[in-house]
Structure 1
Amino acid sequence: DVCEIYTDVEGVFSTDPRIVEDARKIDHISYDEMLELASLGAGVMHSRSIEFAKKYRVPLRVRPSYSDGMGTLIAPEPAANAAVVTGVALVRNEARVTLEQLPDRPGVMSTVFTSMAARKIPVDMVVQDVGSGGLAEVSFTVQQDELAQAIAAAEDAISRLGQGKVRQGVDVSKVSVVGSGMRTHTGVAAAMFQSLAEADVNIGMVTTSEIKISVLVPRDRCDEVVRIVHRAFRLHEKSASPPSIGVDSDSADGSPSLREELERDVVSRLAAMEDIVVSEVGLDTDQSRITLSGLPDEPGVAAEVFTAVAEGGILVDMIVQNIGHHGRAHLSFTVPRTDLDSCLLLLREVLERWPGTELSFDREIAQLTVTGIGLRSHTGVGEKMFLALAACNVNVQMINTSEVKMSIVVAAGQGQTALAALLETFQLV
């Protein structure tokens, strides 16, 4: 059975046709991809409708009401011959807020998010890299017209913590690539970063999910970046070929059976459509963390790093890059623990060209992911999450976010404690 929805558009496109003239209508897209492409799908149907369909595994077909076009099929899984990348999304009017020199201890992120939630400010990209010297730094983006309130909230958090500084960045935009093929192809991040490097576009921040990579770029180049990335992945073609960088991997984090096992029936709680809905909390204890400190903050560096990793056949999960300082950037990412030693060898060879860059790693970490609809619009999700972790004295080492996921890294020994706290907080036990 298929639920057909008639609208005033042809279907879902690979990007905004007003930016890319040869944007292609997508014939078949998965629920997860559609949810992550929120900015493309918002004019077609509400994300909660897709969540209902996902829970009941009911395919949706979005069709034009003014013609016999077949539109776009939104289904449980991507098409068998689906491209690695499905679409490119843009959030144009973003602003960045950075809280630096924060104490690196439990409860700090709770204070920050409580202050934001009190003002009901929706937060988009959230990035926290690994702290050093007892200090941590977190950056997040908000809509440009929310910047003044966000700065006030950040300064309130600093006052409560007793230390820290607030910085801001304006005239920035978020560009994202989405595709289920990222679960099995190692070169998506490298290909995206390489295309930006060739156009001399510097990346301000990076955050990821299992099937999405988002970067913060200068707003005056955001349309150009969308066109560059769309062309790099050949999304204008009916059958786009895989990125030339990287290889297909037989293993991917979170097999369909595992994802189905983790999915929890929250349909009864979706009756109140505007309630906070977290559908699952997952724990991954099979990852390791790698941090590169003091990288040159310039175009092409991230591309070189991730090209080396991709050509080694290593799948990268979380990628976190915060805003740079004094011409230097810090980059952290997670890889399967079984690939850590191979990855370190590849990186040491690449890093020889950048004297002064430091390589560190943590072989055993715990990575937790909260999944749900409305993580951006419902400001209380982050507040609840970090309050629960603070209450059990769990320190958050890394954070990144997407439209429907918020992922954190904590010490390996605190993984089960954090999982239990989050399951209880979001009533999933």
Structure 2
Amino acid sequence: MPLVVQKFGGTSVADADKILAAARKAIRAHREGKQVIVVVSARGHTTDELIGLAKEITERPPAREMDMLLATGEQVSVALMAMAIQALGVPAISFTGAQIGIVTDSFHTKARIRNISTERIQQALDDGQIVIVAGFQGVDEHYNITTLGRGGSDTTAVALAAVLGADACEIYTDVDGVYTTDPRVVAEARKIDRISYDEMLELASLGAGVMHSRSIEFAKKFGVPIHVRSSFADATGTWIVAEEDARVLGASVTGAALAKDEARVTVLGVPDRPGVVHALFRRIGEANIVVDMIVQNVATHGRTEVSFTVAGGDLAETLIVAEHAAREIGAEGVTHDASVAKVSVVGLGMRVHTGVAQAMFEALGAAGVNIQMITTSEIKISVLVDRASGADALRCVHQAFELERPRLDDRRDFAPHRRPPAERSPLAGPDAPPLANGLGGMEDLVVSGVELDEEQARVTLLNVPDRPGYAGKVFRAIAQAGVNVDMIVQNVRSASGDTRLSITVPRADALRAAEAASAAVDDPGHVLVEPNMAKLSVVGIGMRTHTGVATRMFGALAEAGINIALINTSEVRVNVLTDLGPGKAGLAALGRAFDLPTRLAASGSGSRAE
């Protein structure tokens, strides 16, 4: 029998009428012959009200007691939803997270799911009941109530769909799907009919608020199709699916995002030797601080600058940790900027379409928006700008890629390819791995491989003018020279007043790229070429939300005595550039660190053509 998981957010269960409307959607699916699980969030502003109550008692409520308090919001919702469905003549039963055995670790207020017991929930489904489950919550091995943090109900819903091998997970919300960008900022934003897990992972981490990245990690890991749709209409929404179902012909960029609550931290005068970067990020990882953009300058005179961004709310704690780490490693100091925003474009088409970076940088230059930092992945380009310019930057980038225009092969009747349940979910069926039986962790990091590309070269522009339009001019020249660019890294202006822009290209194209850049810049004498470089990559799911990935990678390279020349990061990959000589030793070290087989990547693998 087909199985569907439906999740209703707080606005979808805010009052009795909305609860009844949600109940009717569940009943409709039930009468279509499906088994139905409904996951609900706390009603309306309940969570905020509960937090307010705690703050009336103490400014620093204990995390364990906050979980006890916050979990009551969802308990109210599940009981009311079960009552509504029963009042409409259909059998239903409600469960808390603890009652159905959602077992988590013990990190209160941001717990991760370890396993889910399916026996009780499956029995209720087999008895013909609609099962109502409290989102956002679970219980640790000591029976303490835990909560999953921001987006926790989405995570609960997708996790249940994964463990039970559901045909789909429907996320009902107050918007009718995922948009090309935030329609509250860009009125012309267009609803996307389908988007890949990787694209949605990037957008979710970059500021798109419809889905939380942890739920998308689950969906990708276990092959769960997600349908984001409106609670208040029956129209088709947005399908979040595997890459083969999501690809849209001719589209280089799928969406754009603005993260306004960003803060930038720069560690100045970092000694350029193996192990230093690892020591810095080990301290940050130990504080459980999630780092986003990481940019490391090309070293001069044995020193470099390392910049990274964190959520604005984490800045105070990050500065304490960073200043302590800077003293340990012999760096010259720490600076920060709490008034920055991150603008990003994301799209599978970046792997094959030319001129994406050029178009983005030229659009920002034409709008008078200055770029402070640049970092990239195979399907993403992110720039850091002044926060006051963030909204204008998002609008001009959205317009530059014509994201408001429907794609030629959008299909309104699209439905994802449905594999057999045992294929869809590694957790379903008699051959389920240990994690389904409580011996592992469903949200454990999945690293799928480590790679080495030995055909890289680095081209660096020194003394880059700190003004709008400069990057666009450089990348236009490189594109006209027909050079494919992989990594793009630009750090903020250093203490000496120097800004550096580095790119990596196939070794055979290095001189051509350097000549094109020289022709475009004001001072051609400040273009440097390092022809013999290697790129080492760790690839997987959850690379950003698991704070120890980069630390483990940097640590393995430090133990092997390998220095890191450049860094860039994304949701699915962490890349570092090293000298060519130790490349194979670095690959072996990463293979040992992550207990994975290694492989040599083709030159320019996953590169973004300019």
Partner in structure 1 of residue 196 of structure 2: 30
Residue 174 of structure 1 and its aligned partner are, at CA, apart by 0.8
2:221–2:541 CA contact under 8 A, matched in 1: no
- Aligned to 1:201, which of 350, 357, 369? 369
Residue of structure 2 aligned with 1:164, choices 316, 319, 332: 332
Q: Could you tell me how far apart the structure 2 residues matched to 1:308 and 1:401 are? A: 26
Q: Which runs of 5+ in 2 are unaligned?
A: 1-165, 409-425, 428-432, 598-610
CA contact (8 A) 1:14 1:88 kept: yes
Across the aligned residues of Structure 1 and Structure 2, the Cα RMSD in angstroms comes to 2.5
Tell me whether 45-54 or 106-115 shows the greater mean CA deviation: 45-54
Paired position in structure 1 for 2:149: none
The share of aligned pairs that are identical, in percent, is 50
Counterpart of 1:286 in 2: which secondary structure?
strand
Measured in 1, the distance between the counterparts of 2:214 and 2:315 equals 27
Matched, 1:70 2:236: yes
1:101 touches 1:137 (CA, 8 Å); kept in 2? Answer: yes
Q: 2:505 and 2:573 mapped to 1: Cα distance?
A: 18
Aligned counterpart for 2:518 among listed residues 329, 345, 348: 348
8 Å CA contact 2:272–2:299 kept in 1: the answer is yes
Partner of 1:317 in structure 2?
A: 486
Query: 1 CA distance for matches of 2:434 and 2:376?
Result: 30
Farther off after superposition, 231-240 or 297-306: 231-240
Question: 2: CA distance between counterparts of 1:114 and 1:55?
Answer: 26
Partner of 2:35: none
Q: How does 1:285-364 map to 2 (within 5 A)?
A: 285-325=454-494, 328-351=498-521, 354-355=522-523, 358-364=526-532
Task: Name the aligned partner's letter for residue 84 of structure 1.
Answer: S
Matches of 1:328 and 1:102, distance apart in 2: 15
Letter in 2 for 1:7: Y
Aligned length: 404
CA deviation map 1:373-407 (0-9, x unaligned): 33333222222111111111110000112233221
Residue 412 of structure 1: how far off its partner (Å): 0.8
3-state secondary structure, aligned to 2:235? coil
Cα distance in 1 for partners of 2:364, 2:549 equals 33
Structure 1 residues 43 and 197, CA gap change in structure 2 (3 angstroms): closer
Note if 1:127 corresponds to 2:295.
Answer: yes
Tell me, yes or no, if the aligned pair for 2:208 and 2:257 is still in contact at 8 Å.
no
* 1:100 shift after superposition: 1.4
**Distance in 2 of aligned mates of 1:420 and 1:150:** 32
- 2:463 aligned counterpart, secondary structure: strand
The residue type paired with residue 32 of structure 1 is D
CA distance in 2, matches of 1:275, 1:54: 13
1:283 aligned partner: 452
TM-score of the pair, normalised by structure 1? 0.87
Counterpart of 1:113 in structure 2: which amino acid?
Answer: F
**Which position in structure 1 is the counterpart of 2:316?**
148
The answer to whether the 8 Å contact 1:47/1:373 transfers is no
The residue type paired with residue 405 of structure 2 is E
- Shift of residue 14 of structure 1? 0.4
Letter in structure 2 aligned against 1:20: V
Return closer, same or farther for 1:273/1:55 CA change in 2, 3 Å cut-off. Answer: closer
Mean Cα deviation higher: 273-282 or 130-139: 273-282
Partner Cα distance (1:316, 1:28) in 2: 28
Counterpart amino acid of residue 22 in structure 1: E
Deviations 1:40-82 (A, max 9, x none): 7865445344345445555443333432222112233343425
Q: Which region of structure 1 is more displaced relative to structure 2, 273-282 or 181-190?
A: 273-282
Residues 277-286 or 287-296, more deviating: 277-286
Alpha carbons of 1:51 and 1:142: their partners in 2 closer, same or farther (altered >3 Å)?
closer
Amino acid at match of 1:409: L
Aligned to 1:11: 177
1:115 and 1:306 mapped to 2: Cα distance? 36
More relative contact order, 1 or 2 (CA 8 Å, 6+ apart): 1
- Higher Cα Rg: structure 1 or 2? 2
The aligned residue for residue 256 of structure 1 is none
Q: Are 1:182 and 2:350 counterparts?
A: yes
Pairwise CA distance, 1:239? 3.0
Q: Quick one: which amino acid aligns to residue 584 of structure 2?
A: Q
Q: Is this contact kept in 2: 1:39–1:90, CA < 8 A?
A: no
CA distance in 2: counterparts of 1:148 and 1:201, whole angstroms: 27
User: Using the alignment, how far apart are the partners of 1:7 and 1:82 within structure 2?
Assistant: 30
Q: Which residue of 1 aligns with 2:268?
A: 100
Instruction: Report SS of the residue matched to 1:37.
Output: helix
- For 2:514 and 2:208, locate their aligned partners in 1 and report how far apart those are by CA, in whole Å: 41
State the Cα deviation string for residues 110-152 of structure 1 (Å, max 9, x = none). Answer: 1101111222211111101221111121001111222122111
SS in 2 for 1:142: strand
- On the 8 A contact 1:293/1:358 being kept in 2, the answer is yes
